[in-house]
A and B are shown apart, each in its own frame.
Chain A
Amino acid sequence: MRDTATLNRGPELGRRSFLKVSALAGGGLALAATFPMAGKAATGAGASEISAFVSIAPDNSITIIGKNPEIGQGIKTMLPMLIAEELDADWDLVSIEQGDLNAAAYGPQLAGGSTATPMNWMPMRQAGATVRAMLIAAAAQRWGVDAASLTTEPSAVVHAASGRRATYGELASDAATQPVPNAQSLQLKDDADFRIIGRPIGGIDSPKIVRGEPIFGVDTQLPGMVYAAYERSPVFGARLVSADLDAAKAEPGVIDAFMVEGNGNIEQLVDGVAVISNNWWLANKARAKLNPQWDNGEWGDHSTAKYDADARRHMAEGTPEEVFASKGDVDAAFASAAGTLEAEYHYPFLAHVPMEPMNCTAQLSEDGSSMEMWAPVQLPGNGQAAVATYLGIPPENVTVHITRMGGGFGRRLNIDYMVQVAAIAKQMPGTPVQLIWSREDDVKTDFYRPAGWHKLRAAWDENGKLTGWGDHFITFALSASSFNPATMSATEFPANYVENLEFAQTKMRTSVPMGALRAPTSNAMAYVMQSFLDEVAHEQGRDLPTLLLDIVDGFEQEPGTFGFGGPAPGFAPERVRNVTNKVLDMSPWGEPAANGHAYGFGFYFSHMGYFAEVVEVSLNARNQVVVHNVWVAGDVGSHIINPFGAMNQVEGSVIDGIGQALQLAVEIEGGATKQSNFHNYQVPRMPMVPQIHVEFVKSDYAPTGLGEPALPPVIPALTNALHTLTGKRIRSLPIDTSLLV
């Protein structure tokens, strides 16, 4: 049983983690590591070879591997900051290289779930402190002094008593021969001594980006490389019957066109036709000549209208398929309540649309025994495994170079485009091929944020205390999903704070692929639950922050858990109070709003982060919603490691959420996605962006991630503000402003 303090501190390097320091050829030092927590992946590529994680050259330059995929969350800069801090490195002497997929050498390599900060906070610092301790030991030996009498300044060891000083580069070769200290014996820095953590540091790749240098996946160029476009059915679940390959091959510049058979897993490979050219635009253009015939099976008449009608019928009938969380006596609670409320909520399918369309570059060896890939992918290990299985070769024969990504938002947790390019490369062993999707392919063949419907009910006593809480959740049964986002937690707030509870669900059949969109499940649940709680508060004659703090009043921190990302502290009412009070304090909440303006509040806890937000809205002369200001108070633990990246993530999350609330929806018609590009899937643009005011509340917990948790509460804060402004409830997204007048 792990105690609360351990859970609050986050994972550390375990006794089974293996650090090795060795001399570099030509002088210098290299720290390598093996991570038992890499688990399955450790048996994959590179398990037997150890790669340098940190190296120090005789010229005093330091190279650190950025191990995790960079999707714009700033991780390639941030994780090396942790190593450099405890190494006490001069940041200006540090260069960062993106590591290939090699979980045995680097530990888990993924971008998702805002997990990188909590998973790596201690292990990366311990790795840096290991090298620093060995550099100090080398200096102590060289000068014949006690190691305890030595200190470091950036990239140098200093003996204050004698005034002696040696750079890390000068000591590196000797340090490589020192014994590796035990992780548990390492002395980490006091916060007051931090020189890098807490300092705003620009993205390590930014200078290359502003010059247009090739660093994204789609910028990959290899000798002899050809381009591929892929035609697949617009109807999800359809099978390919025929295509006019000769017509496509007759088009200018087309090298080849061939059919690809799906492997029966929509998360990996669906039927389609590949068109190959030396120029992607020519390949893509020739798709128009393919005249593909599809067998839509049973899916050709599916639509969001049908799903909505079916869901409304399920909610009206009130006979759920299953009850998935229940306690107390809900019926009795409602029968004896001083007040009750019921409402139906709905939210649509959403697409991810990262700016860099899906792409991947692959080269199968002439004999088909090994594969090399250049992949913009959030879960490179999943891609490696799926490609290896598809090709029938061992995972260690699939080399994955992780490229920088033009955005992820969860889309690149799915690895379908990697299997797709592998299937194409299989037809042309030895030739490097780059698969690129058009924006239309991207919008029409996403793994969408699931649509959902909720019939909620609440009961409370004469003091306004919640006594009963229920939800009939209408969702989808997914045919395949490595991560099922069409779910709702049995502990969805305020479930743990109400004595009588019933969460039930009914699942509808569909072939629409679904996946994780930034703050998965939370981006929908926050809107539903915090909007309905605002309804309850209003009905009780008080405001949502008051109700929220009342609900958690008197409760202790929930027990912690030990999950995928390592130890996680339990939900802490105190942190709810702190961010709520902070945002009320920093915003004009409680003061009269400007004429025609109104404020709304929302809170949500997700991905280990606590966020309370206040939104100021008005309606303009054309009855459009204008968001003027958003105040954000967040608690993600004891430190903001890189304030630049942190602010960027919070601002981006807030705007992302506003876009979802105001104008985003994917509709299905005839079994296919109706939207196709940015003209009918209108992500936010500069003119709609509000002023965003952010403050972080520091708490005594290990730092946690910021890729997601600021997004969910902005949506209910916005809908709640519109209720205050107009008296109308927004029970369906995106907001239909015709309902506000």
Chain B
Amino acid sequence: MAYRVTINGETREIDAPEDMPLLWVLRNELGMTGTKFGCGIGMCGACTVHLDGIATRSCSLPIGSIGDREVSTIEQLETTPVGRALQKAWLDDDVMQCGYCQAGQLMNATALLNNNPNPTAQEIENGMQGNICRCACYNRIHKAIAMVAEEGTENA
């Protein structure tokens, strides 16, 4: 099947079976490898993208179900103020170890702050619990999100 999907503001023509997950369209059909494969069953969050701004697990999202909703990925995160601020906080605080899950963590955190610019500590925990960091950089991820919530996005 041929699909037209808007990804990072660009309309892409994709020829793939309708049940192919967006993750594998991005990675193997379009060569966009920023979005990561971690579990394939929506349990780890490494593959998180935004679908009309909502954090979505691309490993469990069939290409045929996207329709005219807009996909955005880690590759364009820095074009958004919240995304840019989080990227900066991630670097300032040296959040990561291996870094493999961090694209998904950043996409999820961006959606979290877009929905709730001033989350409580509990709301950050709840909002991020779907994203596994096997290196367990959790305290740093938490702190970086809280810092952006507190300081805002103006300096990013």
Is B98 touching A407 in the complex (CB atoms < 8 A)?
Answer: yes
Residues from chain A with a CB closer than 8 A to the CB of B147 are: none
A324 to chain B, nearest CB (A): 35
A280 and B100 within 8 A (CB): no
Which residues of chain A are within 8 angstroms of B92 by Cβ–Cβ distance?
Answer: 202
B111 to chain A, nearest CB (A): 15
Min C-beta distance of A364 to chain B, whole Å: 21
Across-interface contacts of A218 in B (CB, < 8 A) = 33, 36-37
- Contacting residues of chain B (28-66) with chain A, CB-CB under 8 angstroms: 28-29, 31, 33-41, 43-44, 46
Contact status B134-A353, CB under 8 Å: yes
Closest beta carbon of chain B to A559's beta carbon, Å: 35
Q: Per-position contact with B for A198-214: 1 when CB-CB < 8 Å, else 0?
A: 00101101110111111
Contact of A219 with B by CB under 8 A: yes
Contacts of A290-347 to chain B: CB distance below 8 A: none
Establish whether residues B97 and A214, one from each chain, have CB atoms under 8 Å apart when the complex forms. no
> Are B28 and A279 touching (Cβ within 8 A)?
yes
Given contacts A72-B135, A683-B134, contact A212 B35 (CB under 8 A): yes
Q: Could you tell me if A281 and B20 are in contact, using CB atoms closer than 8 angstroms?
A: yes
For A354, list chain B residues within 8 Å (CB): 98, 100, 134
Chain A residues in 8 Å Cβ range of B126? 687
B97 with A211: CB separation less than 8 A: no
With A211-B78, A355-B132, A686-B125: A648-B91 Cβ-Cβ less than 8 Å? no
Beta-carbon nearest neighbor of A442 in chain B: B39
Nearest residue, chain B, Cβ from A689: B138
One of A97-105, A474-482, A650-658 at the interface:
A650-658
Least CB distance from B96 to A in Å reads: 6
Of listed A74, A436, A644, A689, residue having the most chain B CB within 10 A: A689
- Complex interface residues of chain A between 270 and 290 (CB less than 8 A to chain B): 278-282
Point out the residue from B43, B98, B131, B140 that lies within 8 Å of A406, measured CB to CB.
B98
Complex contact A407–B135 (CB within 8 A)? yes
A651–B139 CB distance below 8 A: yes
- Does the CB pair A212–B103 fall under 8 Å? yes
Chain A nearest CB from B49 CB (Å) reads: 11
Which residue of the partner chain, among B23, B36, B97, contacts A356 with CB atoms under 8 Å? B36
Residues of A within 8 A of B16 (CB): 279
Specify which of A207, A356, A656 lies most central, judged by the most chain B CB atoms within 10 Å of its CB. A356
Report Cα–Cα, A654/B92, bound state, in Å.
23
Assembly CA distance A237 to B90 (angstroms)? 45
Contacts of B125 in A (CB 8 A): 686-687
Q: B39 and A406: CB pair below 8 A?
A: no
0/1 interface trace, chain A 387-411, chain B, CB 8 Å (1 if under): 0000000000000000011111100
Closest Cβ of chain A: how far from B19's Cβ, in Å?
9
Are A355 and B28 interface neighbours, CB within 8 A? Answer: no
A71-B98, A439-B40 are contacts. A407–B129 as well, Cβ < 8 Å?
no
CB distance from A666 to the nearest CB of B (A): 16
Question: Closest CB-CB distance, A289 to chain B, in whole Å?
Answer: 15
Contact with A along B76-102 (1 / 0, CB 8 A): 011000000001001110101111111
- The answer, yes or no, to whether B7 is at the interface (CB within 8 Å) is no
- Least CB separation from B106: chain A residue: A210
Q: Which residues on B sit within 8 Å (CB–CB) of A407?
A: 97-98, 100, 134-135
Q: Is there contact, CB below 8 Å, between A357 and B34?
A: no
Residues of B within 8 A of A689 (CB): 136, 138-139, 142
Q: Say yes or no: B24 contacts A280, CB within 8 Å.
A: yes
Query: Could you say which residues of chain B place their CB within 8 Å of the CB of A206?
Result: 90-91, 94, 96, 99
* A202 x B135 contact (CB < 8 A): no
Chain A residue at smallest Cβ distance from B33: A219
CB-based contact B36/A439 at 8 Å: no
Asked if B44 and A355 make an inter-chain contact with CB atoms under 8 angstroms apart, the answer reads: yes
Q: Are A221 and B129 in contact (CB under 8 A)?
A: no
Q: Are B100 and A356 in contact (CB under 8 A)?
A: yes
Given that A221-B31, A678-B39 are known contacts, is A282 also in contact with B100, CB under 8 Å in the complex?
A: no
B16, B103, B136: residue with the most chain A Cβ atoms closer than 10 Å? B136
Tell whether, in the assembled complex, residue B28 and residue A227 are in contact, meaning their CB atoms are under 8 Å apart: yes
Q: A residues within 8 A CB of B134?
A: 353-355, 407, 409, 683
Say yes or no: is A73 at the interface (Cβ < 8 Å to chain B): yes
Identify which of residues 114-135 in chain B touch chain A, using a CB-to-CB cut-off of 8 Å: 124-126, 128-135
Which of B20, B31, B103 interacts with A282 by CB under 8 Å? B20
* A210 to B39 alpha-carbon distance, docked (Å): 20
Q: Is B40 in contact with A438, judged by CB distance below 8 angstroms?
A: yes
Interchain nearest-CB distance for B37 vs A (Å): 7
Contact in complex: A355, B34 (CB < 8 Å): no
A502 to B132, CA, bound (A): 43
CB distance from B44 to the nearest CB of A (A): 5
Tell me which residues across on chain B come within 8 A of A71, comparing CB atoms: 98
Residues of A within 8 A of B20 (CB): 279, 281-282
Taking CB atoms, residues of chain A closer than 8 Å to B46 are 355
Contact (Cβ within 8 A) B98 A356: yes
> Contact at B34–A211, with CB atoms within 8 Å?
yes
Pick from A211, A404, A648: contact of B137, CB below 8 A: A648
Residues of B within 8 A of A353 (CB): 134
Q: A281 contacts which of B21, B33, B43, B77 (Cβ < 8 Å)?
A: B21
Q: Contact check: which of A649, A652, A686 meets B129 at CB < 8 Å? A: A686
Most buried by B among A205, A210, A659, A678: A210
- In contact, B94 and A202 (Cβ under 8 angstroms): yes
Tell me the nearest residue of chain B to A279, going by C-beta. Answer: B28
Expressed in whole angstroms, the Cα–Cα distance for A440 and B41 within the complex equals 10
Offer 23 A-B interface pairs, CB within 8 angstroms, sorted by A: A73-B97, A206-B96, A206-B99, A209-B103, A210-B77, A210-B87, A211-B74, A211-B75, A212-B33, A212-B34, A279-B20, A281-B24, A353-B134, A355-B46, A406-B100, A436-B37, A439-B41, A648-B137, A651-B136, A677-B40, A678-B41, A678-B132, A686-B129
Binding site for B on A (CB under 8 A): 71-74, 200, 202-203, 205-207, 209-214, 216, 218-219, 221, 227, 252-253, 278-282, 353-357, 404-409, 436, 438-440, 644-645, 648-649, 651-652, 654-656, 659, 677-679, 683-687, 689, 691-692
The 3 A-B residue pairs with the shortest CB-CB distance in the complex, in nearest-first order: A212-B34, A406-B100, A72-B98
- Apart from A202-B92, A356-B38, 18 more pairs, CB < 8 Å: A206-B91, A206-B99, A207-B91, A209-B102, A210-B102, A214-B33, A216-B36, A227-B28, A280-B27, A282-B17, A353-B134, A355-B135, A406-B99, A406-B100, A652-B137, A678-B43, A684-B138, A686-B131
Chain B residues close to A by CB (< 8 Å): 16-17, 20-21, 23-24, 27-29, 31, 33-41, 43-44, 46, 73-75, 77-78, 87, 90-92, 94, 96-103, 106, 124-126, 128-142
